[in-house]
Each structure stands twice: as structure tokens, then as C-alpha cells.
Amino acid sequence: SVAKSESDISITPSAQELLQDYMSLLKTRLKTEELKQFALLLRQYRTSISVREFCIRLKDLYREERKFLMAGMRPFIPEKDSQYFESFLESIGVDGNGI
Amino acid sequence: MDEKEALNSIKNDLAAGMKQSAWHKSHSSAKSSSQTDVRVKFEFQGEKRIIQVPRPVNFQDLQSKVKTAYGQLLTMFYTNTEISIPILNQSDLEKAIILLDHNPHMKSLRIYLCKENPTPPGSPQGPPHG
């Protein structure tokens, strides 16, 4: 059998709902400029920067009062980076669901 | 980039990450959580009880189980270390289930129970955080 490419994989309905929920949360918690910064940061994470840099810059963007939003990023982190991401969450004192 | 373009970009990149995530793999396989029971941990006045509820979890069914277990209708709050959210209808319950499913560190749906006319979370009579 031929392995599916990323573009061939569609996300499940429950995953779509989760994505919509997180998008709604971002819209209520981030200002317009912050949304643009987040968009840029996400694109850089997909194309060039490391997960380490992504985590540091995301934490700076969300700041202390919104760091719980980072836990909500779990379902969107590629599997290869999930272990680092979990360690980072633990290091900044974010656990459980966060959102 | 305006806000709309930013949001579209965010949505596309989050979806792309999701396709590669361990969470999505575990939730889109044949042995997905949709075929297993949900472990619900109730807490009322310091007493904890655990029950297994088959999916899909129905709000009225859950309320019925609470009434059977405690002899009265109680208000349900979904809790974790950060927040307490009232579960007042099927939609609230489904959101709580989604939060449970997407957190591999949580094994149970934690439900804090209060008598009717609940006080806000964090108040002396409201559900605790964490």
C-alpha cells in the first residue's frame, strides 16, 4: 500500500471541531497584531525554525497571563516534536488541559 | 497581512500540524476512543466516585446517573488544574469530552458536583480549581 502524503490526509470531524474551538479561543484572547505575529510564527515553525525556538517565541507572545493557551496547542504539534513540547510545558508550569 | 489572512494562515498551519500529530493518529485509527467508554470521576462534598460511561456520552444520561448515585440532581462542573466550566447541556458536555480526548495525560473526565444554584467557581462554596 502507498503511504498517504500530508495533503491526502483529511482531519476527522472531532479534530475539525477542536481546531475551530482553538481558533475561537485565539480570536477572543489575542489582539489583531498578536494574531498576525502568531500566524508568522506558525509559518516559520512549519518551514524553518526549530520546535525549541517556536516554543520560546510562543511563550513570549502569549506571555505569563495566557501561557495556558500553550497546552491547547498539543493536538497541533507534529509527533516528532511532541516530546520536547511536553517537556517545555512542564518546565513553564503548564499541565493538564490548560484551556 | 490583514486579520482575515492571518486567521486563514493560522488555521491552515494548525491543520497541517494536526495531520502529523500523535493526537490525530490516535483519534483517527479504527481503535479510536469513540469505541471505548469514558471514565468519569465525580466529586461531591469530598467524596469521589468513578463510573464508566459508554460513548457517545449523553448529558441527560449523566444527570440520571448523578441522581441515582447521590439521590438528588446536582450541577456538574468540568474541572482541571486551571479552570472549572459548568456543564449545563449536551454541548458543554461534548466540549469537555473533547478536552479530555485531546489530553493524553488525563484518564478521567473530572466532574465536580454542586447543589442547585451553584456559586461561581473559586468562591467558598464553588468548585475548587485543581
What is residue A17's predicted lDDT score, i.e. its pLDDT? 81
Q: How far is CA A4 from CA A8, A15, A79, B19, in A?
A: 6, 18, 16, 11
Name the pLDDT band for A3 (thresholds 50, 70, 90). very low
Alpha carbon distance A33, B86 (integer Å): 32
pLDDT one-digit tens code per residue, B17-58: 998 887 777 766 544 444 468 889 998 888 888 888 888 899
Name the pLDDT band for B130 (thresholds 50, 70, 90). very low
Alpha carbon distance B21, B15 (integer Å): 10
DSSP string, A11-56: --HHHHHHHHHHHHHHHHHS-HHHHHHHHHHHHHHHHTS-HHHHHH
Give the SS3 label for residue B97.
Answer: helix
Q: What is the DSSP letter of B78?
A: E
In the predicted structure, residue A1 carries a pLDDT above the cut 60: no
- Average the pLDDT over A10-22 and give the result: 81
Q: How far is CA B53 from CA A13, B69, B125, in A?
A: 22, 14, 28
Chains A–B, number of C-beta pairs less than 8 Å apart? 114
Cβ neighbours of A43 in B, within 8 Å:
9, 13
Alpha carbon distance B127, B129 (integer Å): 7
More confident residue, B19 or A5: B19
Task: Decide if A46 and B3 are in contact by the 8 Å CB cutoff.
Answer: no
Q: What is the DSSP letter of B84?
A: E
In the predicted structure, residue B3 carries a pLDDT above the cut 80: yes
Tell me the residues of B at the A interface, defined by beta carbons under 8 Å apart: 1, 3, 5-7, 9-11, 13-25, 27-28, 80-83, 95, 98-99, 101-106
pLDDT one-digit tens code per residue, B67-126: 888 888 899 999 877 778 899 999 899 888 888 887 777 788 999 999 865 554 444 445
Name the pLDDT band for A95 (thresholds 50, 70, 90). low
Rounded to the nearest angstrom, the minimum Cα separation between B70 and chain A is: 28
pLDDT one-digit tens code per residue, A23-46: 988 998 899 999 999 999 999 999
